[in-house]
Chain A
Amino acid sequence: MLEINNLYASIEGKEILKGINLTVNPGEVHAIMGPNGSGKSTLAAVLAGRDLFEVTEGSAEFLGNNLLELSPEDRARMGLFLGFQYPVEIPGVSMVNFMKTAINEQRKYNNLEPLSASDFLKLMREKKEIVEITSSLTNRSVNEGFSGGEKKKNEIFQMAMLEPKLAILDETDSGLDIDALRIVANGVNKLRTKHNATIVITHYQRLLDYIVPDYVHVLYKGKIVKSSGKELALELEEKGYDWIKEQY
């Protein structure tokens, strides 16, 4: 599904990603961990097409397409979803209008008719339940005045609506209390199928108690320095990142 080869990226001449290799297959859950400033969010942003970052070397393939050549909106329409570490507020744009536009843009791209208003509202209701979101949230402007937890839930809600093939969740767990964490993790688990894949970026092992990964990677100084099964997460929890820092 996703094949990243020797990917380098920089911002304002400063190299952040330094040769990333990663393969993600349908049905898999990958966790990417690592200390702050390692480049986790940068990797997510580069994959999503944020052109603040310049890719200087390497390649990324998504569903057989050269990902790096696609516009961010086309990547999204093809099924790449990024759950933002810091979701932005868009005052004046209602969640309903925003989601409806997003869904219909995706449908148009896939040569499907736009959803009727009633089908759309039905879909909203269904998906809201998955993340236990109250209706008042979807009546407000996108993320405006949402609490930290509400913003994160809203990311998962949008993911549920858009049914991506590959979801990259960037620190969706940070700032959540245990109930919210459980809700978010449940949401992600409910949306798991054989056909889609998830990359969970996280700082803590905590989330991985709920979302059990097939692989854990440690990203440090722009490189994946260690990859293993889920036991690696426990090891990191126990020992912290210092031993990684010492080694690399």
Chain B
Amino acid sequence: MSAENDKILTEITENDYKYGFVTEIETETIPKGLNEEVVRLISAKKQEPEWLLEFRLKAYRHWLTMKIPVWPHLKLPEIDFQDVIYYAAPRKTPKYSSLDEVDPELIDTFNRLGIPLEEQKHLAGVAVDAVMDSISVKTTFRETLAELGIIFCSFSEAVKEHPDLVRKFMGSVVPYTDNFFAALNSAVFSDGSFCYIPKGVRCPMELSTYFRINAANTGQFERTLIVADDDSYVSYLEGCTAPMRDENQLHAAIVEIVAHDNAEVKYSTVQNWYPGDKNGKGGIYNFVTKRGICKGDNSKISWTQVETGSAITWKYPSCILKGNNTIGEFYSVAVTNNHQQADTGTKMIHIGKNSRSTIISKGISAGKSQNSYRGLVKVLKGADKVRNFTQCDSLLLGDQCGAHTFPYLEVDNETAIIEHEATTSKIGEDQIFYCNQRGIDTETAIGLIINGYAKEVLNKLPMEFAVEAQKLLQISLEGSVG
């Protein structure tokens, strides 16, 4: 499929990443580099309480003793952590109580991203916390949610308005000592979202955070904390984009989820950070620590992720299944194209009796990319009658890409039933030609096949996200079968 496909390939890969624009807005940044002074400066800018500054400093000092992990199947370039700006905020800050006060440029930016900040314009049933660079710009539907006792606000506000909750749970799932990037985030995190669902409340709308990197040379370090009290339910969405820039940008986030007795949290991500150009220039380095704890009995945490962006992705949304009869789920589609690299997967730590986990991972590799699944299923001694099912599929487009799986199994209890299935397949030219012969062009054919392949995961996404995600998959892979 040589000539024609080469043409399509060139056209598409040279096509704009749809979200690659830059917002011309006055940004306040601090000088490049990281030291204790910078940590103090960030904390001061955010007028934080002493305990939080202490937390940051401890994290920073710990970070200094750590090294960047070398075990992922990634070619990590040297990252100069002194060459990053650790705080950038749209000038007219901080938070806007009314939309009238928000810079029209910002409203326009989020409109272009499909995230209108006007509540009446918004997708019915989705509340959004919009975060640009280091700052939460606007949280919609706060009042509506507050009537139910649901707290949904930026992390900074939560620190001010609900310090006890934040203090109790921040770092309880991902301690700052957890890993290099978690320590870094804990030292310099700027903003993010906070959500608390009180006992017995089913959150009536999807909550979502939209992360946008805009400023150049900056890193984005946000944290999200979700606490679901007994018998509550919430579905949470996360989206992200960034401008096209030639230099790489660092994103190191933390997401912590705490689910109490009988609570259920669904966390869905459509990750579409700028992946770099077709030659591998630019793109986001995405190092994220996401972990939830099913603390109470019968609680459930589900991670669903569609990963299409970033030059490098390092991310393992995990579940600690502490309570009895708890459920952890991980559904993932990870797409890599051109020179992208992804090392992603999950950890299911079974502590509670009768805890169950399901892992469905669908990797799609194209171009010269490398796509790895890395997953740990760990069953502790006291965890009787644990069940795990893992399905790990790889789909290859072309023969210059790589797909790898690294499953780890640590089982200390004989009653556990662990199942693992894995497949590797390829989109064949004969499949494409069969579609062509029925009048379906190559791009559409790939879309059909990919969406069929990823269906199990896409079906887990909330409706309006699923459609977006389908389109995104197709766009990410356009021109990649040759």
> Residues of A with Cβ closer than 8 Å to B?
48-52, 71-73, 75-77, 81-82, 84, 87-94, 97-98, 101-102, 105-106, 109, 141-142, 158, 162
Contacts and interface: CB of A to CB of B under 8 A. Distances in A.
A49 to B, nearest CB: 7
Contact of A92 (B1, B3, B429, B449): B449
Contacts of B436: 49, 71-73, 76
Nearest to B427: A90
Contacts of B114: none
A90 B438 CA distance: 13
A113 to B, nearest CB: 16
A102 B438 contact: yes
Contacts of B2: 51
B279 interface: no
A97 B438 CA distance: 13
Given A92-B455, A98-B448, A158 B428 contact: no
Contact of B448 (A48, A73, A97): A97
A11 to B, nearest CB: 13
Nearest to A158: B438
Contacts of B4: 51, 71
A91 B453 contact: yes
B430 A105 contact: no
A73 B449 contact: no
A91 B439 contact: no
B425 interface: yes
B48 to A, nearest CB: 50
Nearest to A81: B437
Given A76-B439, A162-B438, 15 more contacts: A49-B437, A72-B437, A73-B440, A73-B441, A75-B437, A76-B437, A76-B438, A84-B437, A90-B434, A92-B452, A93-B449, A93-B452, A102-B438, A102-B439, A102-B440
Given A88-B428, A88-B434, A90-B431, A109 B453 contact: no
A72 B449 contact: no
Contacts of A162: 438-439
A88 to B, nearest CB: 5
A48 to B, nearest CB: 5
B391 interface: no
A94 B452 contact: yes
Given A101-B440, A102-B439, A105-B441, A88 B430 contact: yes
B431 A106 contact: no
Contacts of B438: 76, 98, 102, 105, 158, 162
Contacts of A48: 433, 437
Q: Which of B2, B431, B433, B437 has the most A CB atoms < 10 Å from its CB? A: B437
Contacts of B434: 84, 87-88, 90, 142
Contact of A72 (B425, B428, B433): B433
Interface of B: 1-4, 425, 428-431, 433-442, 444, 448-449, 451-453, 455
A88 B425 CA distance: 14
A81 B449 CA distance: 21
7 contacts: A73-B436, A73-B439, A76-B439, A88-B431, A90-B434, A92-B452, A101-B440
Contact of B439 (A52, A77, A87, A141): A77
A130 B453 CA distance: 31
Contacts of B440: 73, 98, 101-102, 105
Nearest to A101: B440
Nearest to A109: B439
Of residues B3, B4, B448, which shows the largest number of chain A Cβ atoms within 10 Å of its Cβ?
B448
A88 B1 CA distance: 17
A49 B431 CA distance: 14
B436 to A, nearest CB: 4
B444 A105 contact: yes
A90 B439 contact: no
A75 B4 CA distance: 15
A93 B429 CA distance: 16
A71 B434 CA distance: 13
A52 B425 CA distance: 21
Chain B CB within 10 Å — which of A48, A76, A93 has the most?
Answer: A93
Contacts of A75: 437
A92 B433 CA distance: 17
Contacts of B1: 51
Nearest to A99: B438
For the complex of A and B, the 8 pairs showing the least CB-CB separation, nearest first, are: A92-B452, A72-B436, A102-B438, A76-B439, A93-B452, A105-B439, A77-B439, A106-B439
A77 B434 CA distance: 13
A88 B430 CA distance: 7
A105 B1 CA distance: 20
A99 B448 CA distance: 11
Nearest to B3: A51
Nearest to B5: A51
B439 A71 contact: no
Contacts of A97: 448, 452
B444 A101 contact: yes
Nearest to A83: B437
A91 B433 contact: no
A93 B439 contact: no
Contacts of B455: 92
A35 to B, nearest CB: 24
Nearest to B442: A73
Contacts of B448: 90, 93, 97-98, 101
Contacts of B442: 73
A3 B3 CA distance: 26
A93 B425 CA distance: 14
B265 to A, nearest CB: 29
B335 to A, nearest CB: 15
B198 to A, nearest CB: 41
A16 B430 CA distance: 19
A49 B433 CA distance: 9
A162 to B, nearest CB: 7
A94 B455 CA distance: 11
B437 A82 contact: yes
A75 B438 CA distance: 9
